[in-house]
Amino acid sequence: MITLYFGGGTPSHVPVKLIEGVIETLAKNVFLNVKEATFEFNPEDVNRQLCRDLRELGINRASVGLQTSSDDLLKVIGRPYSFEDFKKAYSILRETFDNVNVDFMYSLPFEKLSDVENDLKTVETLIPDHVSFYELEVHESVPLFSMIQAGQARLPAEDVSEGMYDLIVKTLEEIGYKRYELSSWTKEKSCLHNLRYWKNEDYMGFGLSAGSHISNERWVNTTEIQDYISKISAGKYPHAYESKNDSIVEIAETLFMGLRLAEGIDVNEMREKFGDDFDEVFSRIKKFCGELLECSDRLKFTKTGMKFSAMVLRELA
């Protein structure tokens, strides 16, 4: 099964002609038949012509980032659109695509529980096919980090953030969404492309910062555009990082990714593939069996374990 995903930045800023060129090049050199082709949209870029053009190119799944339904919070995190802009964009996407995902974030600076309640009301009203809720991660390289350090922005207290998580899980279940991955819910259309990542299967990434995993080899492309162009022009791979994993590392990565899935990992399959090395890596997290991990033929998080998954996954990093 072949999937395609345009994301990792702002692909909806790119002229359609260039997207068409990418697809044509891939079709000639890599694949022909694609089962799922996802395109990430910024709300401010969405228009009917763009959607029609992309649909004609074979894009059959749309993903749009709302992040929050609060205009005040959108300003805090530097988003150039309003909730009203998003609703108009979502309406246009629904006209063209029958598989639409909406991304949300929670635990934003100054966010209250009532803000998350409004986000969930938005989900209940719009009923997207797929919903992702990510807890905010603040990296040193983004302006928001400096604002927090300077006291200009304040993150919610830990108990408030935990309440947001509990509300999200409870409400989405009540309105008919199934949680199939730590941050992902769907009615019936899981993201086939992302399942390849979570199952640690093979995939190829093209472009700045894109990652790839083939067999036991993993690499990530450079983040610098001039470096990328010069290496490609010289006939070199534009890698910033590359590694050939040994069995232990490959098992740890497979567990790290696979445990994100609600269905977890087939233990017998892992032992058959990796032998005794599997038990060596499994021993790192065996102490969590019981309250946080179900440790039977399938290794997976309990409901409580999903909430405290970071504590377990740290042992595999």
Q: What is the pLDDT of residues 118-145, one digit of tens each?
A: 999 999 999 999 999 999 987 776 777 7
Helix (H) or strand (E) holding 181: strand 178-181
50 and 184 both lie in a single domain: yes
pTM for the model stands at: 0.92
pLDDT value at position 27? 86
pLDDT > 70: percent of the chain: 99
Q: Are 240 and 222 in contact (CB under 8 A)?
A: yes
How far is it, in rounded angstroms, from Cα 240 to Cα 253? 19
30 and 78 both lie in a single domain: yes
Q: Which domain holds residue 240?
A: 199-244
pLDDT, average across residues 207-213 = 94
Q: Are 248 and 280 in contact (CB under 8 A)?
A: yes
- The beta-strand segments (E) located in 50-160 are 61-67, 100-106, 130-135
102 and 18 both lie in a single domain: yes
Q: Are 69 and 117 in contact (CB under 8 A)?
A: no
215 and 294 both lie in a single domain: no
How far is it, in rounded angstroms, from Cα 189 to Cα 203? 20
Q: Are 264 and 313 in contact (CB under 8 A)?
A: no
Split at pLDDT 50, 70, 90, the class of 147 is confident
177 and 67 both lie in a single domain: yes
266-294: b (≥16 Cβ within 10 Å) or e: ebeebeeebeebbeebbeebeebeeebbe
99 and 8 both lie in a single domain: yes
pLDDT value at position 84? 98
Q: Report the mean per-residue pLDDT for the chain.
A: 94
20 and 104 both lie in a single domain: yes
Residue 91 contacts by C-beta under 8 Å, 6 or more apart in sequence?
Answer: none
Total domains in the chain come to: 3
* pLDDT-wise least confident of 17-21, 144-148, 190-194: 144-148
The pLDDT of residue 307 is above 70 = yes
Q: In terms of DSSP bridges, do strands 100-106 and 130-135 run parallel, antiparallel, or are they unpaired?
A: parallel
8 and 83 both lie in a single domain: yes
pLDDT, average across residues 161-182 = 98
- Backbone torsions φ then ψ of 41, nearest 5 degrees: -115, 140
A 10 A CB-CB count for 3 gives 18
- Among 215, 244, 273, residue at a domain's last position: 244
82 and 189 both lie in a single domain: yes
- Among 196, 218, 233, residue at a domain's last position: 196
